[in-house]
Amino acid sequence: MESINQNLSFDKVSVVYNRDVPDSLAFAKYTADLFISRNINARCDASSSLCNDASFVITVGGDGTLLKAARFYAPKSVPVFGINLGRLGFLAQANTDEIDFAVEKLFAGECRIEKRMMLSSFDGNTLALNDIVIKGDSFSRTSKLFLYINDKVVCDYLADGIIVSTPTGSTAYTLSAGGPVLSPDLDAIVIVPICPHTLTSRPLVIPSVDEIKISSCKTCNRLKMSSDGQDTIDVDSCDFIVIKKSSVYAKLVMLEKEGNEFYSVLRRKLKWGVSPER
């Protein structure tokens, strides 16, 4: 992760809302009006029809809305800022009661842009900010999955699937599957088997320059691969799924405010290291 201190471009602001999240459109309109009142070109766009020529994007919804926007705008080098309407909102920078405060911070330049590493597959046609997950096509049985790193055999897993994660995604599905938490400053990739059928299968943390290949056996007809838990495609089990660090980065806008550094957010939102109440 790299932090960039630079002014945001408000030439064309797109406030992205999720139709499936209650009140998302109402809060998106409220946010857009704060920019319009300053004579700035701002509009509301549904997450299902993202705007191609935005210079700055604000998402109103959960982490899923932000992840979708981040994947779409990363190749265009457009910064994304999140307002949380979901349950956790780990990547979001403001709740709905902080919209005015957050917008004032943005205008005052009291923010930074963090370049977050992404993963790519299928020659860059698939991008992920959090993770790429590979599973068999049958939910009633486990899959045998073969893992190669830099064309060297590492191991084979009898498991429900494999998660390949960025440091940003280490606090998401990877964490639930028993993986480690990585600071977004690290340039690394995490590989975590999902419910492996052996106690010797443990998460791997590898350099981001390494190339990962995953395939399965002929008895598994198809594999399913998902990006950030959203975009899912079917892959022939005998084909290699190649995953590596993407050449593009997501740009996430972070507010400069007390308690907004990574470890404070980890403690506050995930209750990390907090003793249970009596």
Q: Per residue, what are the HEC states of the chain?
A: CEEECCCCCCCCEEEEECCCCCCHHHHHHHHHHHHHCCCCCEEEEECCCCCCCCCEEEEEECHHHHHHHHHHHHHHCCCEEEEECCCCCCCCCEEHHHHHHHHHHHHCCCEEEEEEEEEEECCCCEEECCEEEEEECCCCCCEEEEEEECCEEEEEEEECEEEEECCHHHHCHHHHCCCCCCCCCCCEEEEEEECCCCCCCCCEEEECCCCEEEEECCCCCEEEEEECCCEEEEEECCCCEEEEEEEEEEEEEEECCCCCCHHHHHHHHHCCCCCCCC
Region label for 262, one of left (φ > 0), alpha (ψ between -120 and 50) or beta (otherwise): alpha
123 is catalytic: no
Catalytic residue among 11, 23, 63, 228: 63
Neighbours of 70 (CB within 10 A): 29
Rounded Cα distance, 78 and 30, in Å:
22
Residues 6+ apart with CB under 8 A from 36: 42
By CB neighbour count within 10 A (0-12 exposed, 13-18 middle, 19+ buried), where does 79 fall?
buried
Return the active site residues: 63
